[in-house]
Amino acid sequence: MEEEVRSAAKMVFDLMQSHHLKMASAESCTGGNIAHHITLQPGSSSFFMGGVVSYSNDVKINVLGVDKEAIAANGAVSRLVVEQMAEGAVRVCSADVAVATSGVAGPGGGSPEKPVGTVWIAASNGVQTISRCFHFGEDREENIMSATKNAFFMLKELVENQKK
Q: What angle do CA 155, 26, 123 make, to 5 degrees?
A: 25
How many Cα atoms within 13 Å fall on the side-chain side of residue 142? 10
Per-residue pLDDT of the chain (164 residues; tens, 9 = 90+): 889 999 999 999 999 999 999 999 999 999 999 999 999 999 999 999 999 999 999 999 999 999 999 999 999 999 999 999 999 999 999 999 999 999 999 999 989 899 999 999 999 999 999 999 999 999 999 999 999 999 999 999 999 987 65
Domains and CATH numbers, the chain: 2-162 (3.90.950.20)
Q: What is the pTM of this model?
A: 0.96
C-beta neighbour count of 112 within 10 angstroms:
5
CA distances from 86 to 34, 116, 145 (A): 13, 22, 19
Q: How many whole angstroms separate alpha carbon 71 and alpha carbon 60?
A: 9
Q: How far apart are the first and last CA of the chain?
A: 31
